[in-house]
């Protein structure tokens, strides 16, 4: 029994999780560094990484303190300022 097809599927799931992280992150440059740095880990822990990324919520930057917050937030958790309504 060969494990090579499973390795490709496992690695592919890790890469899909990495790409999803890039799309959900409020700071793509930081996410790109994380993806490149942890590419080996994404391959090893592929499906786990994919599930963790899918479970995460999309984020945005607070316009006042530049911290990452939930995309649906109305008040920043760090600086406690009310966020402007975005259309």
The span from the CA of 14 to the CA of 25, in Å, is: 17
Q: Which region, left, alpha or beta, applies to residue 66 given φ > 0 means left and ψ of -120 to 50 means alpha?
A: left
pTM of whole model > 0.75? no
DSSP type of residue 15: H
The span from the CA of 27 to the CA of 23, in Å, is: 10
Q: Are 65 and 78 in contact (CB under 8 A)?
A: yes
What does pLDDT average to over the chain? 77
Average pLDDT over residues 57-67: 89
pLDDT in tens, 20-31: 777 777 676 776
Coil/strand/helix, residue 60 = strand
Q: Are strands 59-61 and 68-70 parallel, antiparallel or unpaired?
A: antiparallel
For residue 61, pLDDT over 80 is answered with: yes
pLDDT in tens, 21-57: 777 776 767 767 776 766 666 666 767 766 777 777 7
């Amino acid at each position: 029994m060969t494990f090579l097809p499973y390795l490709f599927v496992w690695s592919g799931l890790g890469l899909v999780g990495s790409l999803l992280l890039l799309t959900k992150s409020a700071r793509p440059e930081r996410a790109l560094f994380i993806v490149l740095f942890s590419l080996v880990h994404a391959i090893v822990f592929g499906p786990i990484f994919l599930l963790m990324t899918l479970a995460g919520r999309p984020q945005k930057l607070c316009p006042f303190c530049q911290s990452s917050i939930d995309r649906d937030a109305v008040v920043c958790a760090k600086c406690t300022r009310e966020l402007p309504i975005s259309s």
